[in-house]
Amino acid sequence: MQSRLLSLTEAAVNVAIGFIVALLTQMALFSALGLRVSMDRHLLIGTVFTLVSLARSYLVRRFFERYGRGRG
């Protein structure tokens, strides 16, 4: 069984890597679509989505830890 702290740590590392990939993808996509956004705005947008992703990842992990035991 995974502790809550380890669940949060795993989710944080996963989301941090995802943040970098998403930020680079967002910058490339916005540029390709002709959308001009400052780096500050890119970072703000990326941060908001990263926080949502972190919460989602943690909650899904905890759900499976609670209800997934003994199944499979």
φ, ψ (nearest 5 deg) of residue 13: -65, -45
pLDDT at 70 over 80: no
State the total domains in the chain. 1
Q: Are 1 and 52 in contact (CB under 8 A)?
A: no
Classify each residue of 29-66 as buried b or exposed e, where b means 16 or more C-beta atoms within 10 Å of its C-beta: eeeeeeeeeeeeeeeeebeebbeebbeebbeebeeeee
Answer yes or no: is pLDDT of 23 > 90. Answer: yes
The answer to whether residue 58 is domain-embedded is yes
pLDDT band at 58 (very low <50, low <70, confident <90, very high): confident
What is the pTM assigned to this prediction? Answer: 0.65
Domain presence at residue 72: no
